[in-house]
Structure 1
Amino acid sequence: MQNVFDISQLDVRPIENQLTLAKWYPFENGQCSDVKVEQNATRRYIVLFGCELTGSQVAKFITSLDLPLAYHRICCFEAHQSLPLGVAIEISSSIDIKQSVRNTASQVGCQGAVLHTLPQLSVAGLLVMDMDSTAIEIECIDEIARLADVYDEVAAVTAQAMAGQLAFNDSLHQRVAKLKGIPLSLIEPLKANLPLMAGIKALCVELKTHGWHLAIASGGFTWFAQAVQAQLDLDCVFANTLEIADQHLTGKVLGDVVDAQKKAEVLKSLQAEFKIAPEQTLAMGDGANDLVMMAAADLGIAVHGKPKVVEQADTAICHGSLLQVLYFLTVPRPE
């Protein structure tokens, strides 16, 4: 293949059979939109991932993405040996294109993200993540409530909070109050068998291998966060402490609540403690309570998130393994 890239060259073969791995190809036309791109347009990187990409899929994505942007270069890269190859496209745009990229990528059968910078796996970084429905598949308070047969009562309070009728702190205290009197023996099996989210273990292993620091900042409970910490070899965890008396829950939370603002403070504090460059900070979560933390990071990642969270996050993984976070950390930097 020539060093200059033309989308008409792509066909139904796998993309790796048509582009040399980790090599950036300049676009022949340089501009694939009839709409004029403003002079103050900034460089960004579109990342296509999540399936075995063919040249035809990439070509269809490019021709379908009818936006005021200029194309510069394209690159096929390997994020991890167990993941399909990803494709990165360097572009310039003066508008927010992330939703259009996600929608168009979905139409051609993959996932799409837009990166403003290119954080690097090989450089020490920081990942702070939510726990419930992010690092693990369940919401611990819901599972405790089910075991104690008070799920409907807890769910009613959760619904109020989700509807914006109740602040997170108030919601937490009210839900925990419903758990008063539950014996630890009833929930011990839950702590011992927390279901990790698919791919999170492999992701943490890969990040730790490259000197990254990992932490949980959760509105859940230390009892479970510490169990996840042991499984994933995390540096530290921040969560809420349930008061216990005579081996039973008292229905109270001890100390300050880990809320949205506290999560963001945790990220900034750990960034300073570990001396991490701002562009090497990541945060991921699934709920509105994670958005402040995600905004404080250089890259906020929605993980199978609520629609509002996916909409506001920098990037999103809506399907598949969390190992796919590596797609955002392994785009080769253009020379």
Structure 2
Amino acid sequence: MPRFLVVLDADSTLLRNEVIELIADEAGRGPEVAAATEAAMRGEVDFAESLRSRVEALRGVPLSALTRVLARVEPTPGAAELIAAVHARDGRVAVVSGGFHEILDTVAPRLGVDVWRANRLAAPSGVLSGEVDGDIVDAAAKARSLTEWADELAVPVSRTIAVGDGANDLRMMATAGLGVAFNAKPAVRAQADVVVERVDLREVIPLLP
């Protein structure tokens, strides 16, 4: 039985990139989607509604283009070291993301993440349809994922740490035993238990139990 659980957001937390912006580059709509992503992360618009409109902008991108996207995805400095430190202390690492399984299914196991959850892109004929396949991973789903994983691992919620940067991470951070703002927007910094200033995930290691 693990001693504790660390749940990380993916884009701009575990990963340096906002992956949806990289995919949008393939559709020639990078700047437009980047602006919409920024507004969503600041909490200015409803996340699910924003995600649907941003995914709509991806219509027509072939699934094969995701190979190029994967090549551009960079882990945040310190990601591997943080995950190793969690495992060395008999903890588990989870990632819950408003991004996409199509990227995390490759990146997460490479980094040693134990479990992850994200959105799926509909691509019925090998081309993105511009729709999300299934329920959207929003703020409520992130908080629910944390409590479900804690239950499955028999880890008390008081021994969970949530790390995120955007407004859609706030409910998860409030649910966790410790909410950590990392590379975060002002609204997130204001409500977090701890603010990590440096964009290096090794800064989270001293917070581990």
The TM-score normalised by the length of structure 2 is 0.92
Q: Where does residue 241 of structure 1 map in the other structure?
A: 120
Q: Which amino acid aligns with 1:317?
A: V
What's the offset of the Cα at 1:278? Answer: 3.0
Q: Does the 8 A contact of 2:147 with 2:157 survive in 1?
A: no
Structure 1 segment 223-302 matched on structure 2, within 5 A: 223-302=102-181
Q: Where does residue 174 of structure 1 map in the other structure?
A: 53
Q: Deviations over 1:162-212 (max 9, x none)?
A: 575631111111110111011122231222442000001111011112221
- The whole-number CA distance in structure 2 between the counterparts of 1:158 and 1:238 is 19
Structure 1 residue 309 and structure 2 residue 197: aligned?
Answer: no
What's the offset of the Cα at 1:246? Answer: 2.6
Q: Where does residue 99 of structure 2 map in the other structure?
A: 220
Structure 1 residue 187 and structure 2 residue 66: aligned?
Answer: yes
Identity %: 38
Structure 1 segment 32-43 matched on structure 2, within 5 A: none
1:153 and 1:263, CA in 2 relative to 1: closer, same or farther beyond 3 A?
same
1:222 and 1:199, CA in 2 relative to 1: closer, same or farther beyond 3 A?
same
Q: Which amino acid aligns with 2:186?
A: P
Query: Highest relative contact order (Cα 8 Å, sep 6+), 1 or 2?
Result: 2
Q: Where does residue 135 of structure 1 map in the other structure?
A: 14
Q: Where does residue 203 of structure 2 map in the other structure?
A: 324
Q: Which amino acid aligns with 1:233?
A: G
- Kindly report structure 1 stretches of 4+ aligned residues shifted beyond 3 Å: 155-166
1:164 and 1:324, CA in 2 relative to 1: closer, same or farther beyond 3 A?
closer
- The whole-number CA distance in structure 2 between the counterparts of 1:163 and 1:276 is 31
Q: Which has the higher strand share?
A: 1
- The whole-number CA distance in structure 1 between the counterparts of 2:58 and 2:157 is 40
1:180 and 1:320, CA in 2 relative to 1: closer, same or farther beyond 3 A?
closer
Q: Where does residue 31 of structure 1 map in the other structure?
A: none
Q: Which amino acid aligns with 2:85?
A: E
1:163 and 1:212, CA in 2 relative to 1: closer, same or farther beyond 3 A?
closer
Q: Which has the higher helix share?
A: 2
1:174 and 1:127, CA in 2 relative to 1: closer, same or farther beyond 3 A?
same
Q: Does the 8 A contact of 1:191 with 1:223 survive in 2?
A: no
Q: Where does residue 99 of structure 1 map in the other structure?
A: none
Q: Which amino acid aligns with 1:283?
A: A
- The whole-number CA distance in structure 1 between the counterparts of 2:4 and 2:23 is 34
1:171 and 1:202, CA in 2 relative to 1: closer, same or farther beyond 3 A?
same
Gaps of 5+ in 2: none
The TM-score normalised by the length of structure 1 is 0.59
Q: Does the 8 A contact of 2:11 with 2:19 survive in 1?
A: yes
- The whole-number CA distance in structure 2 between the counterparts of 1:215 and 1:329 is 14
- The whole-number CA distance in structure 2 between the counterparts of 1:310 and 1:218 is 19
Question: Aligned to 1:195, what secondary structure does the other structure show?
Answer: coil
Q: Where does residue 119 of structure 1 map in the other structure?
A: none
- The whole-number CA distance in structure 1 between the counterparts of 2:177 and 2:62 is 42
1:217 and 1:164, CA in 2 relative to 1: closer, same or farther beyond 3 A?
closer
Q: Where does residue 31 of structure 2 map in the other structure?
A: 152
Question: Aligned to 2:118, what secondary structure does the other structure show?
Answer: strand
Between the two proteins, the alignment pairs up a number of residues equal to 208
Question: Aligned to 1:254, what secondary structure does the other structure show?
Answer: coil
Q: Which amino acid aligns with 1:143?
A: L
Q: Which amino acid aligns with 2:115?
A: C
